Structure 1
Amino acid sequence: MSAPEERSPLTPRPSLYEHALRLLQEEPNGGRPQRGYPLPEKPASRPDLRWPEAKAAVQEIVGPLLTSPDLDPDPARAADELHRRLDPLGVQARSVRNVVVALPLSDEVAARALARHLTRTGTSAPAVAVGLALLDRLGGPEDIPYLDTLSRFRDLTRPALQALSAVDRPAAGLAWLRQYTRTESLRPLIDALTARDAPAIRDWLLAHPLDPRTVGPEPACRIAEAVRLTDLLRAEPVDPRLLSQAVRLLARMTSPHDYRVKILDYTDAVTAYTTVVAHLSQLPPSLDDFANLLSLAVDLHSGPSTLLDWEPGRREALLDTLNSVPSTPAWSAVAEAVPADPADSATLRRQHWIRRTAHQPLRSPTPGGPTLRIEVAVSDPIDPSAVETRILIDGRPLVAEFFGLGPAGSPERLLDNGSLRATAEPHEVQLAEAYCTEGCCGALYVTIRRDGDDVVWSDWRLSNTPASRHRTPPTHRFDATAYDTEITRAERDDSWSWPARTTARLISAGLRARPDLLTRWDAQRGWTGTDFADPDSVAVSFTYWPGLSADQKDKDGPWLQFVWTVPDDDTPPETRAAAALDRLATTDPKTYADVRGGSREYAAALGYPWPER
């Protein structure tokens, strides 16, 4: 270490803010490690410290500094106390922020002074996180440069962005894009936003394709915030290209393919919806815009968009206008047009989805309608296919409101097997699973039972769900007759389905009714459905367990997973499913299905070739 870099024990450490500024000055062209800078010193870590203990410890340290009647008027002394006690605790900055943001404040002026002292002079991530959490509630424009700079540290990015979002959403949008985006096509936008080059920002937005593969729900939300989309839409006359991009961004925000549907995070969503729909007459018909407008209509009808802060009657009026689009000759012609390439399966699939969705009733429910409503929603095929069983109580989507970490379960999981039916015997039902699976971020469960003339939904359970999400619905009572009628209607309604999906559901029903179709071949039923990558392809999976048919399955012995792709012969779903079930009954499926799981050793032991990938 050279002499100028040496620091005696008495030399104060530079603040994290100063350290970040120095790093930025050393890299003027923006070069930085992926996901941001590491902290100058690794924070203390306590892997054995569980959340309840960590929460209590942070509350004990920080709480008195914010609510004590004898608050220290000197923020420097309070900051020193926080550093001394928080630093060795081993609690991550994000966890500190999540605790402090909920603590009561007795003196906002003193708390703001402490927050600003910490963000400007704090030398450790936990202490700075306290300041960030307080600025989440108390920040102002003068804090923006500090929050933006501190967001460059990967350990502080989320706490800093949360505070920045509360102060300046466009600035937070840019900071998020800069910190998390690795898509080269977004780099010119980041550069234009950084330079505040309004013409370049607009030119990028008009020209970029906003491909769902590179612009997911979160980037779409952040782009809309960073470019100040609603301000651009207010300019007259509205450029049809800008209108189309606004529709595309909103549709991306309603996608279920993220840990949270981002339309609820977009603070200008109501204004954007209203402005877009008001200018629909200026939007030239196209397949992409038609699909995106239908996605918005479906979400306004039964999705998370219903939870936005709508004035009475506004959402219903917008939905009525969107519902008029499919009946317009120019728009309906788009859905009926023959693709330039007859083999373009993606375009054909999207056209079929548009025609199917456009014919479904997407009107707002009439007053006095059923308290419980079940709606099956199918996403635009340009997105990885998602089919969810939306449960609406008094018009509000229950899963989106109380879970929000993933879509509701599929109709195969909730309707086809009778899970939502009410019996005298209580039974628990998983209504939704986190986008990343239950083992990661949890699932939402409810217990359903019949109680005299009522059906009761109670004993809600959030499994393995982050503490910040622990808000369960209240107990609901439904009139049993009306409940049974709605469940029966939903189970019989297949207007949302397409031929391959219907075929898969019929095969699955046949296998449930006749489990011997597979067990006779030592095969255990797995999943049956449409292929994730190709929704027009039907797949039947099963596991080969030697001895299963004789009830002598060796759980410790070799096994293999097979997947059979059911041939598509253009026959009706009923005919195709019956033929598939007949083949399973008469011919060992291991002779025509493909090995997809197990191990090379198991395959060799059982006499099957292992697939070379």
Structure 2
Amino acid sequence: MSVVNERSALDRPVSLYEHARRLARLNPDGPLPDGGRPWPDRDDHPEVRFRERKAALAAVLREFIDDPSLTAANLHDRCTRLAVTTLDATSVLRELAPEPSRRLADAGRWLVRNGWDRRAVIVGLSLLCGNAELHDVPVVKTVGLLSFADRLAVEVLAKVPGAEPDLIWLTERSRIHIRVAATEALSGNADPAVRDWVLSTPRELLSSEHARKLAEWHGLAEKLRLQAVDDTSWDQVANLLLAMTSTRNYQSEISRYRDATVVYQRWVELADRRQPTLERAALLTAVAQDLCTGPAAPVAGALRRGLLETIRHVLCSRQWAEMLHRSARSSDPIEARRATWVLGELAGNDIPEERFAIRVVVPDPNPVGFAQVEARVMVDGMPVVASAFDKGSAESPEGLVHSGRLRATSEPREVMLAEAYCTEGCCGGLYTTIVREEAEVVWRDWRSSMAGDPPPDLRFDAAEYDREIARAEQDHGWEWPARTVARLVEDALRADPTILGRWDCAAGWCTAWLRDLDTARLTFGHPARRGSFEDPSVQFGLVIDVKDRAPDAVAAEVIASMRHTDPKSVAEMIGGSKDGAEKLGLVYKKPSRW
């Protein structure tokens, strides 16, 4: 017996299970503070490459499997010398022990209940995955409250018949993204309560593909044909439709949903039977945006005008209008701005009649997720990007329109209209070459990462094209105050590089996000130039508070400040390393507002 194994139990920290149980008693209705930190074990987990981690863990587990004299406590102590992640343990076990084993399951139970080191508990949960029984559930879900174990605990519970309520219980007390794994695990469950919980998953957490599969698995088209469709079911359908049109998880799936047209028609038909609420008004407005200029437009085709008219009729009806105007006067700023957004969109969701049009689309200003403003190019009433590219959204108005990139000259110029969600370098983008040919502007030589034939050449009357470009470039009516501040600051820095240059800094980007409506954010780098990639550098971020202040005055104040005060002294370090900062003579501070 090794010295480690002969240590007194008093020398060891409390088990992680007991640690979680104690915290759960203190916080019975919500997640544990900071995921259960600080852990009672040592914080000496080394950084080791995947292959080395996997090989070391495989050797320990193979020794345990081959030597029946080794106990779970022996396995625990060997695990404490490893670098182990959740993926390592499950991957190694699939290779070493693909078949269920009573000894391995019992060892897993011991590690989960008695383990005081995170690495050993991770191995224990991995040993239980697929081998756990109902009597294991209380311990597993309690340990799963600790953030290092939540995802693996969800995987264990998902494979235990009858543990669905416990899985939901754990998920609702865990980090928000754990809901994704839980929803996927329970997707096909036929229990009505479980199904409703799955379908109520916020769309920001659903990939487009998963949303489509949920719609198919649960037969949304058939359910909508029923005479009685309650408000909750109607809300869930909208949630899935909007998730399917999103490109924030690699690609839109609405065109692959075979029942899309039927579901859109029936969902819109049922709208006037709903209880008017701001959330439902926002759902109707978001769907209208998709039908008008977004990914739903090519799917709905000729039905779009009728669907949009029905949505407008519902939102303009007395009960809905009264609710919206009441919400627009609310003292709650989020409620007021969302209602104002709906009322504003009522006048704007029209299919363009022109051959060429640009529509800036501002999504729901609800501070959830990471909604982006898009400049959607429309040709003959149909969105170009949504028709030809499903891997990412259209570019921002600042990047595509106000930059002048869409202007046509006799010199051909390639322009990116959309970038893949995961970046252009990963999954590409949609490009066209714009050139003026006498009285016409031509979009030709399309380039895309999409399979199939590229779009055909597009020709526009040059005078009409120029008028629409000029109108769109001067249109800032869609902006909210913080976005206006961001534009004015960026324009000033671009016009006079010495504003930041005098402090040996170079401008990055400046923008405002819908989820953070009352602030603009500016980034800049120091030093302004580097001799080589290896030279130290630091990225700074400045948060500009705008609320209830005139945008032009705020922007002027920011620029004036940077002319006289080194912005590095007031901004936060958001990029680069502590070591790099010290080499540049800067004192590193962890950012608090980024």
**Alignment match, 1:460:** 446
The code of the aligned residue for 1:557 comes to D
**Alignment match, 2:161:** none
**Alignment match, 1:574:** 552
**Aligned ranges 1:180-259 → 2 under 5 Å:** 183-184=181-182, 187-192=185-190, 200-201=191-192, 204-205=195-196, 208-259=199-250
**Alignment match, 2:511:** 529
The reply to whether residue 588 of structure 1 matches residue 566 of structure 2 is yes
1:38 and 1:358 map into 2 onto residues whose CA distance is 58
1:242 and 1:341 map into 2 onto residues whose CA distance is 28
**Alignment match, 2:496:** 514
- Check whether the contact 2:186–2:198 (CA below 8 A) recurs between aligned residues: no
2:189 aligned counterpart, secondary structure: helix
2:536 aligned counterpart, secondary structure: coil
The code of the aligned residue for 1:270 comes to T
Distance of aligned partners of 1:188 and 1:594 in 2 relative to their CA distance in 1, 3 Å threshold:
closer
How far is 1:513 from its partner? 2.0
**Alignment match, 2:169:** none
**Alignment match, 1:442:** 428
How far is 1:370 from its partner? 2.1
How far is 1:329 from its partner? 3.4
TM-score using structure 2 length: 0.65
1:486 and 1:560 map into 2 onto residues whose CA distance is 41
1:207 and 1:347 map into 2 onto residues whose CA distance is 26
1:370 aligned counterpart, secondary structure: coil
1:35-85 deviations in whole A, cap 9, x for unaligned? x988999xxxxxxxxxxxxxxxxxxxxxxxxxxxxxxxxxxxxxxxxxxxx
Q: 2:357 aligns with which of 366, 373, 392?
A: 373
- Check whether the contact 1:356–1:495 (CA below 8 A) recurs between aligned residues: no
The code of the aligned residue for 2:440 comes to D
The reply to whether residue 317 of structure 1 matches residue 303 of structure 2 is no
2:97 and 2:346 map into 1 onto residues whose CA distance is 56
1:522 and 1:471 map into 2 onto residues whose CA distance is 48
Q: 1:390 aligns with which of 346, 369, 376?
A: 376
How far is 1:265 from its partner? 1.5
The reply to whether residue 290 of structure 1 matches residue 274 of structure 2 is no
Q: 1:563 aligns with which of 533, 541, 556?
A: 541
1:218 and 1:235 map into 2 onto residues whose CA distance is 25
1:374 and 1:583 map into 2 onto residues whose CA distance is 36
- Check whether the contact 1:201–1:227 (CA below 8 A) recurs between aligned residues: no
- Check whether the contact 1:453–1:480 (CA below 8 A) recurs between aligned residues: yes
Distance of aligned partners of 1:213 and 1:370 in 2 relative to their CA distance in 1, 3 Å threshold:
closer
1:461-517 deviations in whole A, cap 9, x for unaligned? 23xx3xx62532222121110000111122222333222112212221222222222
1:374 and 1:222 map into 2 onto residues whose CA distance is 33
1:537-590 deviations in whole A, cap 9, x for unaligned? 2111111116x6xxx967653321111111225212222222222222232211
**Alignment match, 2:351:** 364
**Alignment match, 1:404:** 390
* Cα RMSD (Å): 3.1
1:420 and 1:411 map into 2 onto residues whose CA distance is 11
1:590 and 1:455 map into 2 onto residues whose CA distance is 46
Distance of aligned partners of 1:352 and 1:373 in 2 relative to their CA distance in 1, 3 Å threshold:
same
**Alignment match, 2:481:** 499
How far is 1:291 from its partner? 0.9
- Check whether the contact 1:389–1:411 (CA below 8 A) recurs between aligned residues: yes
Distance of aligned partners of 1:355 and 1:495 in 2 relative to their CA distance in 1, 3 Å threshold:
farther
The reply to whether residue 469 of structure 1 matches residue 457 of structure 2 is no
How far is 1:267 from its partner? 0.9
- Check whether the contact 2:187–2:198 (CA below 8 A) recurs between aligned residues: no
Distance of aligned partners of 1:602 and 1:287 in 2 relative to their CA distance in 1, 3 Å threshold:
same
- Check whether the contact 1:251–1:293 (CA below 8 A) recurs between aligned residues: no
Q: 2:467 aligns with which of 448, 460, 485?
A: 485
How far is 1:235 from its partner? 1.0
2:222 aligned counterpart, secondary structure: helix
- Check whether the contact 1:402–1:471 (CA below 8 A) recurs between aligned residues: no
Distance of aligned partners of 1:202 and 1:445 in 2 relative to their CA distance in 1, 3 Å threshold:
same
2:207 and 2:534 map into 1 onto residues whose CA distance is 43
**Alignment match, 2:577:** 599
**Alignment match, 2:526:** 544
How far is 1:423 from its partner? 1.7
**Alignment match, 2:406:** 420
1:188 and 1:340 map into 2 onto residues whose CA distance is 41
1:308-355 deviations in whole A, cap 9, x for unaligned? 154x4x22111111122332332234444459995x665455334334
1:574 and 1:295 map into 2 onto residues whose CA distance is 31
2:259 and 2:94 map into 1 onto residues whose CA distance is 31
How far is 1:397 from its partner? 1.5
Distance of aligned partners of 1:521 and 1:333 in 2 relative to their CA distance in 1, 3 Å threshold:
farther
1:264 and 1:318 map into 2 onto residues whose CA distance is 17
1:308 aligned counterpart, secondary structure: helix
1:484 aligned counterpart, secondary structure: helix
**Alignment match, 2:342:** 354
1:298 and 1:492 map into 2 onto residues whose CA distance is 22
**Alignment match, 1:608:** 586
**Alignment match, 1:152:** none
Distance of aligned partners of 1:485 and 1:333 in 2 relative to their CA distance in 1, 3 Å threshold:
same
1:540 aligned counterpart, secondary structure: strand
2:376 and 2:457 map into 1 onto residues whose CA distance is 18
The code of the aligned residue for 1:558 comes to P
1:473 aligned counterpart, secondary structure: coil
Distance of aligned partners of 1:38 and 1:378 in 2 relative to their CA distance in 1, 3 Å threshold:
farther
**Alignment match, 1:20:** none
**Alignment match, 1:275:** 266
Deviates more, 1:331-340 or 1:517-526: 331-340
Deviates more, 1:408-417 or 1:350-359: 350-359
**Across the two proteins, how many residue pairs are aligned to each other?**
421
Identity score, percent:
35
1:190 aligned counterpart, secondary structure: coil
- Check whether the contact 2:409–2:435 (CA below 8 A) recurs between aligned residues: yes
TM-score using structure 1 length: 0.63
1:477 and 1:306 map into 2 onto residues whose CA distance is 21
